[in-house]
Chain A
């Protein structure tokens, strides 16, 4: 038996206090395998020890929520006996070390979280953050991450229909790769992870176990240092072909009545899957580790328990169904092995060729999982900038610069590498406000999006947290969807620093307020902390993934102008004097300043505008719709013009024109309407208490403003479409 030295304890990421607790729970010194299990179960990644206290404050309930946080994914009722199952999860650290495999296995992991619950995955999305375009590593990381996401998602045959990408120097050493999967299940055929039934067989299916990613879960919870590139060998390799087979085999098995409980082996592999299943069911479990299908010779119990080999699941079967289940996995050429049984001992007992090599109490370990109330300080408020505080540049040049800037330019280079049409239900492809996927065989659809504006969150975590939720709400509404629920992926720096913890607390507060005001509960989520390199934290990035329903896909709205001579209307109003340039892209890209308070979000206004625009879309009263976000009003109008290939003739008067055109005031949409229907629209808006202002008409080949000819669409498009491919093609 190996003596557990303080060095070994530290290598396993446990503090001295935590180790004291280990000794108390065990009543003896643990062996290495047992220590490893404590280490992964109590890692930040698995235990949420820094974040739990605050995540609990988020609203998670609504009449349509079938299952909130705590399971593999969240579940909502979407009508017609169907449920949407979705979650977003980070794979940040692995993707920085090995971008292709890190991103690919991130997609694989989140797919498993969803199909584990009985849902067929119908769409993938992602939220990516890279370092500054000037940073020497950025190109390589973009290229590898995008290829990895595509390589995995394309092969499993699930369309990648949406996402977002930001570039900022705070991510130079810590990129963010957040992957989201949306699945659809029959609401009466959902599978959970709580084990039940003493004596029931515990079955291992999928790929064999190798030495992949041992201690990945602890790696994902430790701050990066300069030598972390040395950690490459522990990154796991994805096999999307096996995942595809695993999806089909699981779907086939789920159509029978053989499954008691099922759980994927994600981070911390066999340990966390078996532990969580037993713990949730109040059961004990006995595993015969020598029965685990192994890919390499000489593997130890320690390695088997901690391996993060991909494409594996653990299933508790109804007794007597083993043979039938095995036949299904044989058909799909996947491993199938009975590796244990459920007991009533409340303990996890690990055997190796008959000998006990580990014996831990389940409840005490789970219950004693640390929960910290880390000290935090609120983020100091920044001054509000007035339009006069920001230099006014010629509008045409400003527009041309913004439209071709890294955070606004077209993502076509990326989404063309993702199969976004497979499964034959993609009604709205990437490039619009939200991806829209038809519910197979019906006229109804799901709308989905991912959103966050990290620069706002950094400047004011509460308002920024609100804004991330509100923008997701807006994007779903802008295609005509009813926003139903969100998943969150909380990416922050080191929570042991009060300033960072304060960002987390503030973001949770803002998100919570927005979720309540918009009836938009959080049903699943993931936390990624310690995103720092050499003490430099990332911008706080609470990425929000959202799902909504569209009742009739034929009425769905898109951003493209549909024809000439239509009226262009701003819902939520032209900002004028109140134009908000603090933290705007105008301020950053044209003035080189990242300053000021971010635009506030007024949730009642947000809600009213969303309800109004959705009703107009559903009644086919408007012909195009786009929310106003990064870059402000003129950028939104230009994006609509480029998508439709019709210009715009605008009349926006007044002083502080730059604040009207480029201010990033929240809660607004640009819509187009046939001229004959304009009076109706304006009257309806008035009745709904939504400010509506007509700003011009569609047509021509340029953006005209107050009679002045601005940039040609063709030139704007060249900048918009050209930035990313040109950047990627350039020499490092």
Chain B
């Protein structure tokens, strides 16, 4: 399996996700600088990491979405290469049009860094096959703009297609306003594209994939990808 992590000016979770990938893959992913247009032909997975690309200036992810490398990412995504966007990476993927919706300022306007509980909505994708259906996992968030928005018709389509990957929930899996940390519509914490080959999520699975950091609920996501994509 061959994976690459894109590095934008201002990315700051690039190393963190590379560490988690390496633990699951047994080898280091490639690190691709955003200016590159030379992306190896045989990539199986592209990760757009968290951070503050371009300082989150203008809108989170807006400028990175137009980086030279993103054109290449779009083409690969169209060919079915798996793309994972975490936090700022999710914002970039929505800005780039690879995922539906938009991420707005958190409802209470503050940056939120804490563990949250998520329900796993689908387990039939290459990203989530390592989880059990309906499993509740604990993964941290750290964002200022994680308030997922889609208008009514788009939301209906996303829900109808089963594109919701994760929802903010309570520890026992209850999805309600009380567990909606940032005002996201339908408590959406992560979405797939229609084909289920591109995933964007605000929570950081790479931050709880090591028992020394307090948990491993994020690890099955990387293990799933390795299992699915190892040829």
Q: Is A245 touching B212 in the complex (CB atoms < 8 A)?
A: no
Tell whether A419 pairs with B9 under 8 Å between CB atoms, given A154-B52, A240-B52.
Answer: no
Q: Is A418 touching B113 in the complex (CB atoms < 8 A)?
A: yes
Within 8 A of B (CB), among A25-68: none
Question: Which residues on the B side are within 8 Å of A425 (C-beta)?
Answer: 213
Q: Is B204 touching A417 in the complex (CB atoms < 8 A)?
A: no
Binary per-residue interface labels of chain B (45-68) against chain A in the complex, 1 for a CB within 8 Å, 0 otherwise: 000001110111100000000000
B35 shortest CB reach to chain A, Å: 8
Binary per-residue interface labels of chain B (186-229) against chain A in the complex, 1 for a CB within 8 Å, 0 otherwise: 00000000000000000010110010111000000000000000
Q: In this assembly, does B146 line the interface, its C-beta being within 8 Å of a C-beta of chain A?
A: no
Q: In this assembly, does B15 line the interface, its C-beta being within 8 Å of a C-beta of chain A?
A: yes
Q: Is B142 touching A438 in the complex (CB atoms < 8 A)?
A: no
Q: In this assembly, does B77 line the interface, its C-beta being within 8 Å of a C-beta of chain A?
A: no
Q: Is B212 touching A244 in the complex (CB atoms < 8 A)?
A: no
Q: Is A241 touching B9 in the complex (CB atoms < 8 A)?
A: yes
Tell whether A245 pairs with B9 under 8 Å between CB atoms, given A154-B142, A239-B55, A421-B140.
Answer: yes
Q: Is A427 touching B54 in the complex (CB atoms < 8 A)?
A: no
Q: Is B204 touching A240 in the complex (CB atoms < 8 A)?
A: no
**Of A155, A416, A419, A438, which contacts B55 at CB under 8 A?**
A155
Within 8 A of B (CB), among A312-351: 332-333
Question: Which residues on the B side are within 8 Å of A420 (C-beta)?
Answer: 113
CB-nearest residue of chain B to A242 = B55
A332, A333, A429, most chain B CB atoms within 10 A: A429
CB-nearest residue of chain A to B207 = A421
Q: Is A421 touching B113 in the complex (CB atoms < 8 A)?
A: yes
In the complex, besides A240-B55, A424-B210, 12 extra interface pairs with C-beta distance below 8 angstroms are A150-B111, A154-B52, A154-B142, A241-B10, A241-B56, A242-B55, A416-B114, A419-B142, A421-B204, A423-B15, A424-B16, A424-B19
Q: In this assembly, does B12 line the interface, its C-beta being within 8 Å of a C-beta of chain A?
A: yes
How far is it, in angstroms, between the C-alpha of A615 and the C-alpha of B129 when the chains are bound? 44
**Of A155, A245, A419, A554, which contacts B113 at CB under 8 A?**
A419
Question: Which residues on the A side are within 8 Å of B51 (C-beta)?
Answer: 157
CB-nearest residue of chain B to A332 = B9
A sample of 15 inter-chain contacts (CB < 8 A) reads A151-B111, A154-B52, A155-B52, A242-B55, A244-B55, A245-B9, A245-B10, A333-B9, A416-B110, A417-B111, A418-B111, A422-B16, A422-B50, A422-B142, A424-B13
Binary per-residue interface labels of chain A (421-446) against chain B in the complex, 1 for a CB within 8 Å, 0 otherwise: 11111110100000000100001000
Tell whether A421 pairs with B110 under 8 Å between CB atoms, given A245-B10, A554-B212.
Answer: no
Q: Is A157 touching B207 in the complex (CB atoms < 8 A)?
A: no
Q: Is A244 touching B207 in the complex (CB atoms < 8 A)?
A: no
Q: Is A416 touching B10 in the complex (CB atoms < 8 A)?
A: no
- For chain A, give the interface size range: 20 to 34
Question: Which residues on the B side are within 8 Å of A156 (C-beta)?
Answer: 12
Question: Which residues on the A side are within 8 Å of B50 (C-beta)?
Answer: 422
Tell whether A157 pairs with B12 under 8 Å between CB atoms, given A421-B113, A424-B213.
Answer: yes
B46 shortest CB reach to chain A, Å: 20
How far is it, in angstroms, between the C-alpha of A371 and the C-alpha of B21 when the chains are bound? 56
**Of B54, B140, B204, which contacts A241 at CB under 8 A?**
B54
CB-nearest residue of chain B to A553 = B212
Q: In this assembly, does B150 line the interface, its C-beta being within 8 Å of a C-beta of chain A?
A: no
How far is it, in angstroms, between the C-alpha of A424 and the C-alpha of B21 when the chains are bound? 13
Binary per-residue interface labels of chain B (107-125) against chain A in the complex, 1 for a CB within 8 Å, 0 otherwise: 0001111100000000000
A154, A417, A418, most chain B CB atoms within 10 A: A154
Within 8 A of B (CB), among A506-562: 553-554
Q: Is B55 touching A241 in the complex (CB atoms < 8 A)?
A: yes
Question: Which residues on the A side are within 8 Å of B212 (C-beta)?
Answer: 427, 438, 443, 553-554
A287 shortest CB reach to chain B, Å: 29
Q: Is B52 touching A241 in the complex (CB atoms < 8 A)?
A: yes
Q: Is A244 touching B111 in the complex (CB atoms < 8 A)?
A: no
Question: Which residues on the B side are within 8 Å of A155 (C-beta)?
Answer: 10, 12, 52, 55-56
Q: In this assembly, does A629 line the interface, its C-beta being within 8 Å of a C-beta of chain B?
A: no
B50, B51, B57, B213, most chain A CB atoms within 10 A: B213
Binary per-residue interface labels of chain A (554-581) against chain B in the complex, 1 for a CB within 8 Å, 0 otherwise: 1000000000000000000000000000
Within 8 A of A (CB), among B51-94: 51-52, 54-57
How far is it, in angstroms, between the C-alpha of A424 and the C-alpha of B19 when the chains are bound? 9
Q: Is B213 touching A427 in the complex (CB atoms < 8 A)?
A: yes
CB-nearest residue of chain A to B54 = A241
How far is it, in angstroms, between the C-alpha of A516 and the C-alpha of B15 when the chains are bound? 40
Binary per-residue interface labels of chain A (266-287) against chain B in the complex, 1 for a CB within 8 Å, 0 otherwise: 0000000000000000000000
The 3 closest A-B pairs by CB, nearest first: A157-B12, A241-B55, A424-B16
B12, B142, B214, most chain A CB atoms within 10 A: B12
Q: Is B113 touching A147 in the complex (CB atoms < 8 A)?
A: no
CB-nearest residue of chain B to A427 = B212
Q: Is A157 touching B52 in the complex (CB atoms < 8 A)?
A: yes
